Structure 1
Amino acid sequence: MKQGSIVMAMIWMAVLSLLLFWLPLLGPLIAGFVGGRTAGSAGGGLLAAVLPAAVLCFVLVGFGTALAGLPLIGIIASAGLFILIVVQSLPLLLGAFVGGLTV
């Protein structure tokens, strides 16, 4: 039985997204497909696509709170960024889901 790696899936998605940035819809779709296959399952592929955005948002909560002095400002800024990243990466999520299903 073959197991996937979520960390390697995140690395593949990041590298391929950077290399294929000039393909507006196909670049993230291909990156997500390869990352989903590397993750080994549809759930793992989706986790590998969303986890970097969530980590970035937690870091933004800390910086927003430190700079503004108010935790509410950090939470609002990070929630807005998380929604923006997830909506922008819909082709990546779709590719990750399909790639995870084809394993």
Structure 2
Amino acid sequence: MNPIIFFVFFLVVFTHGANIHPKSCPLEKDCGKVDGASVICGLDEEMGCIQKYPSKCHLDLAACHQGKVFKDYSDIYCSMQAYFCEKSPTYERWTIFFGHEDD
């Protein structure tokens, strides 16, 4: 392929793609103050585990940033610590045997 044609093609594709605006998510500060009574946990169906959030607002915020929808959430899920999602891909699931490390 001719390098000039390739460059023009790349330039057109890049500038057209640059005009697409990403979805705007609310800011964490919009969630306001939270306390222990506002904690909520949602089932992450994609990962098959439970995510814990300081409030419903924070759950919605995380869903927006991750492009997910948490349809199944409850404060009762927060008592199921053995099913909490891993913190990182390298984190081993010792919580199943020993409980959740940091609440």
Q: Give the structure-1-normalised TM-score.
A: 0.21
Identify which of structures 1 and 2 has the higher relative contact order when contacts are C-alpha pairs closer than 8 Å and 6+ apart: 1
Bigger share in helix: 1
Bigger share in strand: 2
Q: Give the structure-2-normalised TM-score.
A: 0.21
